[in-house]
Amino acid sequence: MRRGLRMNCRLYNEDCFEGLSRLGDGSVDLVIADPPYGLGKDYGNDSDHLSGTAYVDFSRRWLEAVLPKLKPDASLYVFLSWQNSLEVFCLFKTRLIMLNEIIWDRRVPSMGGSTRRYSSVHDNIGFFARSRNHYFDIDSVRVPYDAATKKARSRSIFVGKKWLELGYNPKDLWSVSRLHRQDPERAEHPTQKPLELVRRMVLASCPPGGVVLDPFMGSGTTAVAAQSTGRSFAGFEINPEYFAGAAARVQPPADAGQATVAGNTRRRRAPATERLIAAD
């Protein structure tokens, strides 16, 4: 954790459509949104049962709710699946600049699969910016070359090249294994994303000490990524059990600062509906 930066982590057990209005306008450096994909998953609510135009309308609603919160140089990542990504990307391009489509290859093992079409083994991540002046720190996410590759690039034209020393741009195909039941990182959530993916987004697209917002927090992966890299965080999760799990994941170590729990008396659905964790 970085010293000297005042950080806090605000977790709300609340519908983001209700809670987002309480965040300050122009206060957020980075949005990482992993909404229900519209594929019928059971999140203990009916949030994943939208399809077609209803799904696009839902995407428009949350986009319009987060847009005023963004700083002028802010960015937004959205996780989607191929079933809706085309329509949602078209929609978001009317309001933001699209910088990349990142393909998350979940590294699904080859085991038979569908007999009527090709097995789908990736998620589609849209990377958007509010302006061409967006914050982006490529050096923080470069992938180091291994010794053999470095040696193979030892011809004089490569010597002293910054990219050879610092590593390469991770590109737009991210091969990171999904989390298996036995994985020590695994929490009680059906679509938990690997920390490795989300940390990369935070490091590249939020300045140290900046603010990350996750409207659909789930198990709290974005909160953990923000906290462990010295960024502040605000996030919403509608399911009280997932919220409690997320809050538990971001508990600070005993010597890392103070932890305060504040109840939200309007809607108490879990032991704590709002958790604020601050650390210097």
Ligand X SMILES: C[S@@+](CC[C@H](N)C(=O)[O-])C[C@H]1O[C@@H](n2cnc3c(N)ncnc32)[C@H](O)[C@@H]1O
Residues of this chain that bind ligand X (CB under 6 A): 15-17, 34-36, 43, 45, 47, 189, 191-193, 216, 218-219, 221, 236-239, 242
Considering the complex, what minimum distance in angstroms separates the CB of residue 277 from ligand X? 18
Considering the complex, what minimum distance in angstroms separates the CB of residue 42 from ligand X? 10
Residue nearest to ligand X (CB): 218
Nearer to ligand X, 59 or 239 (CB): 239
Count the Cβ atoms, other than its own, within 10 Å of residue 160.
8
Considering the complex, what minimum distance in angstroms separates the CB of residue 240 from ligand X? 10
Nearer to ligand X, 64 or 280 (CB): 64
Considering the complex, what minimum distance in angstroms separates the CB of residue 228 from ligand X? 14
Q: What angle do CA 248, 254, 259 make, to 5 degrees?
A: 60
Considering the complex, what minimum distance in angstroms separates the CB of residue 233 from ligand X? 13
Nearer to ligand X, 29 or 34 (CB): 34
Nearer to ligand X, 92 or 236 (CB): 236
Nearer to ligand X, 175 or 258 (CB): 175
